[in-house]
Amino acid sequence: MQECDYEIEAAATKQFKLNLSPYPDLSVPAVVPSLSSKRVLTTEWMPGTSIDRAAAEQMSVAERDRVGSTLLWLSLSELFQYRFMQTDPNWSNFLYDARTQQISLIDFGACQSYDPEFVDAYLRLVRACAEGESQREAILHWSHELDFLTGSESREMLDAHVSAAVLVGSPFDARKQPFDFGAQDISKRIAADVGTMIKHRLTPPREEIYTLHRRLNGCFQLASRVGATIPAREILLDVYNSHQWHQPETQSEEGAHGVGGAESPLREAIVTG
């Protein structure tokens, strides 16, 4: 198993440390090669408290919002910028140091790489979901490209799929900004649609979808646990507008989304701390 191979985990830890080195709000432990092997992994000690506990005991409202925003940006950036995601959303893997206000990431035993075509299509799907029912055809198109759908599904299945997709995209809805993750109940509201999809789907999701959705759901749940209100749409558009496309977006796709403009200042805020 990958999570029991500490040479793989050491390599993943080093990659994350390199990826996140420009961002002072985020920290990854250094690996100690002389004390590590295939069966043992030694890293530097990272100070802090699990982030949900820290939110309850140490953070102001503004700090909870900042931390939640950083974690959402991190999840989207891992997938869409680096195409290399830590897929275990265990809250204890994110530590908060009240003295420095730094977030430390630990435990990189469960990481997943994603190919550029998959990432491009998934970002376009997320962007369509953020626009809601008005982008039904785009949601169905990119869902088919990503093998969620075969093209032969019943109307009941398609309606449930679009409904669930719009619910998952609701934190990015322009009408709901900033989004209060502490008050969201997406998991409860989506339950009926998930039941319909399990009953009527003609194909299971691709293997990498399971780990990806585990992390994204964990991100939403962690933001809820922290009690953060987040400019989620701004973060998504920042990631979207700065994305390096493997397959360039067509003019018709740009028009369908109705989005453009300059890059958000949020990335600069995270970089400068």
Using only C-alpha atoms, the chain has a radius of gyration, in whole angstroms, of 19
CB 202 within 8 A of CB 153: yes
The reply to whether 25 belongs to the active site is: no
Find, among 109, 117, 115, the residue nearest to 84 by Cα.
Answer: 115
Query: Token match 């922290």: residue?
Result: 226
* Given the residues 5, 88, 159, 180, the one annotated as active site: 88
Beta strands in 143-203 (DSSP E): 179-180
Q: How far is CA 100 from CA 48, 75, 103, in A?
A: 10, 22, 9
Residue type (1 letter), 28: V
Residue type (1 letter), 179: F
Q: What are phi and psi of 66, to 5 degrees?
A: -65, -45
CA-CA distance, 269 to 273, in Å (whole number)?
A: 6
Q: Which structure tokens are listed for 34? A: 């002389």
CB 96 within 8 A of CB 58: yes
- Residue burial 95-114, b: 16+ Cβ < 10 Å; e: rest: bbbeeeebbbbbbbbbbbeb
State the number of CA atoms in the 13 A half-sphere of 116 facing the CB.
6
Find, among 26, 11, 109, 22, the residue nearest to 66 by Cα.
Answer: 26
Active site residues: 88
